[in-house]
Amino acid sequence: MIQASRVVVCVFDGLRPDMVTPDRMPHLAGFIAGGRSFPEARTVFPSMTRVATSSIATGAFPSRHGIVGNAFYYPEVTRDFVLDVSKAEDIALAEERLGGKFVTADTFADVLAHAGKSVAVVHSGSPGSTYAINPRVAQNGHWTFSVLGTRHTRTPSAVEDMVARFGPLPPRTLPRFDEIDYATRIMTDWVIPEMAPDVALVWFNEPDTSFHYRFLGSEETRAVMRSADNAFGRILEAIRLRPDADDIAVLVASDHGQISSSGEVDLAALLTEAGHPAAMAAQRDLSGMALAVTGGNMGEIRVLDGDLERRDRVARWLMAQEFTGMVFTPSEDPVQGTVPGTFSHRLVGLDHGRQPELVYVLRSNLDDDAHGLPGLGLITGSVPVGGGMHGGLNRHELNTVLALGGHAAITPGVHAGAAGVIDIAPTILDLLGVSAPASMQGASLLQLGDQPGGPVETFTAGECDFRQELTLRRRNGVTFAQHGQRRA
Ligand SMILES: [Zn+2]
């Protein structure tokens, strides 16, 4: 049994494991090579930050934690617009209407609070991502600092205290060099040496932001990846200086990957033309609409009056479009959706009471982008064409960085079988000798031995000319989506 004195978690938003090479990110590549790594780790679906963050926090799929999209329509909270989980005011509204139960499963931080243990988070993402990693931070008596200011965290005094100590918050630039540096200073000069919490977690908003707006393989993106890697090196050095350095476990992760966008589809306009007046979520106004649609490279389609016949017609229309990659509908069946040709939400762990009537994924493939990185797909907008996107089931969106090290008793090795972001929370608890609640579907990474890989299963669904397939790996009744795409 490995008992850690403390756990330090470093999350690099959007980082693709195949881009962690010794020339791009020497500290991180060295750490992974010398530690226990999980090269086939997968995020959840939708492969989006707030969904994945909730899975990292709860050790569970969206079917349990209820954050079924970065944005989703939730009439119990409001019928006026689609909830945007990045916005502090939308989260506050949901928390108020739901009596604090927006995230519907216990988090590792909730469990640690009951065990009398401390959690400190240094975050540089949106208020929603900062919220989701420890939604009940104030009740838990924990500490969440946001490099973006007091409005981005539910413990604003953390920001006031750090500004008093380290000076004004950094300016917002692209790439986010200054935010990486400030967050790193809080970790190396305060959280690790002075606060010394049981769990310290830092969340870097790069390379995600630069992937989106400066493209995956560009010079600027390579520069910010070096900067994030340098930050990781500084954090390892701060740990090495501690008297209990050999007992501190370090976990590195990303929340999802990204692929490059190859073209744009105006989905709301096309649906409207097809006789289904549709609004994209960002419009924040659903008056006169039949459908509410979220975008990116996938999204949900809500039939606002609940008309199932319209849902079926929209599903069949989607499957007849060349740009459509995959379509999901709710179903009791574990594989096939209610509408013939679609997959079931249950196949991807999306079967929560908040599940949408329809989920679409735009077409993607494994072709190389302009910088020679595999993974190309269509988008509905929100970034320039060529920019990175995620949300779907392409292997390069699903595959995440996941490795353990630091603690002297963690033996180096490679587990190439099923693993994923849902394993992070149980691992943190295991490292601290705290048992995981039954709601956690993940397993402790410490319990997974070396494994060369494992069998995959491929499921197909289709109707007429439309055929989709999804490959997954199983582990003790839990399934990890590996790769999904349209076949015809
Ligand atoms: Zn992310």
pLDDT at residue 113 in the model = 98
Q: Ligand 1 centroid to 311 CA: how many Å?
A: 30
CA distance 193 to 176: 25
Q: Cβ distance 375 to 260 under 8 Å?
A: yes
Distances in Å between the alpha carbon of 183 and those of 154, 159, 199, 234, 344? 17, 11, 16, 11, 41
pLDDT at residue 449 in the model = 86
Q: Cβ distance 326 to 451 under 8 Å?
A: no
Return the percentage of the chain with pLDDT > 70, whole number: 100
Q: Ligand 1 centroid to 438 CA: how many Å?
A: 26
pLDDT at residue 1 in the model = 72
Q: Cβ distance 145 to 123 under 8 Å?
A: yes
Q: Ligand 1 centroid to 412 CA: how many Å?
A: 27
**pLDDT tens per residue, range 363-379:** 999 999 999 999 999 99
The DSSP code sequence of 207-245 is: THHHHHHH-TTSHHHHHHHHHHHHHHHHHHHHHHTSTTG
Is pLDDT at 488 greater than 80 in this prediction?
A: no
Secondary structure letter of residue 118 according to DSSP: -
Cis peptide before 46 (omega within 30 of 0): yes
Best CA proximity match to 374, nearest among 258, 226, 210: 258
CA distance 69 to 421: 16
Q: Ligand 1 centroid to 48 CA: how many Å?
A: 6
Q: Ligand 1 centroid to 49 CA: how many Å?
A: 4
Q: Ligand 1 centroid to 207 CA: how many Å?
A: 9
Q: Ligand 1 centroid to 106 CA: how many Å?
A: 21
- Give the pLDDT mean for 146-155: 96
Best CA proximity match to 68, nearest among 328, 374, 441: 328
Q: Ligand 1 centroid to 257 CA: how many Å?
A: 8
Q: Ligand 1 centroid to 310 CA: how many Å?
A: 33
Distances in Å between the alpha carbon of 157 and those of 119, 152, 330, 463? 15, 11, 43, 56
CA distance 144 to 407: 25
Q: Ligand 1 centroid to 477 CA: how many Å?
A: 27
Q: Ligand 1 centroid to 225 CA: how many Å?
A: 15
Q: Ligand 1 centroid to 228 CA: how many Å?
A: 15
**CA angle, 20 as apex, 394 and 65 as ends, to 5°?**
50
- Give the pLDDT mean for 410-436: 97
Is pLDDT at 453 greater than 90 in this prediction?
A: no
Distances in Å between the alpha carbon of 448 and those of 42, 46, 414? 15, 25, 10
Q: Ligand 1 centroid to 337 CA: how many Å?
A: 28
Helix (H, G, I), strand (E, B) or coil at 123: strand
Q: Ligand 1 centroid to 280 CA: how many Å?
A: 21
Q: Ligand 1 centroid to 203 CA: how many Å?
A: 10
Q: Ligand 1 centroid to 185 CA: how many Å?
A: 22
Q: Ligand 1 centroid to 52 CA: how many Å?
A: 8
Best CA proximity match to 282, nearest among 84, 140, 415, 143: 84
Domain residue extents for the chain: 6-67+103-258+394-447, 261-387+456-486
Q: How does residue 450 score in pLDDT terms, banded at 50, 70 and 90?
A: confident
Distances in Å between the alpha carbon of 56 and those of 2, 22, 67, 400, 402? 21, 27, 12, 12, 12
Buried b (16+ CB within 10 A) or exposed e, 94-131: bbeeeeeebbbbbbbbbbbbeeebbbbbbbbbbbbbbb
Spell out the alpha helix ranges (H) of 8-81.
Answer: 26-34, 49-58, 62-65
Q: Ligand 1 centroid to 136 CA: how many Å?
A: 21
CA distance 486 to 331: 20
Q: Which superfamily does 6-67+103-258+394-447 belong to?
A: Alkaline Phosphatase, subunit A (3.40.720.10)
Q: Ligand 1 centroid to 277 CA: how many Å?
A: 31
Q: How does residue 441 score in pLDDT terms, banded at 50, 70 and 90?
A: very high
Q: Ligand 1 centroid to 171 CA: how many Å?
A: 21
Q: Ligand 1 centroid to 461 CA: how many Å?
A: 29
Q: Ligand 1 centroid to 44 CA: how many Å?
A: 12
Q: Cβ distance 468 to 384 under 8 Å?
A: no
CA distance 436 to 480: 20
Pairing of strands 358-362, 324-329: antiparallel
Q: Cβ distance 365 to 483 under 8 Å?
A: no
Q: Ligand 1 centroid to 286 CA: how many Å?
A: 27
Q: Ligand 1 centroid to 13 CA: how many Å?
A: 4
**pLDDT tens per residue, range 463-477:** 999 999 999 999 999
The token duo for 105 is 């499963």
**pLDDT tens per residue, range 289-330:** 999 999 999 999 999 999 999 999 999 999 999 999 999 999
Distances in Å between the alpha carbon of 15 and those of 2, 313, 322, 370, 387? 28, 38, 30, 18, 14
Residue type, 147: V
Q: Ligand 1 centroid to 418 CA: how many Å?
A: 21
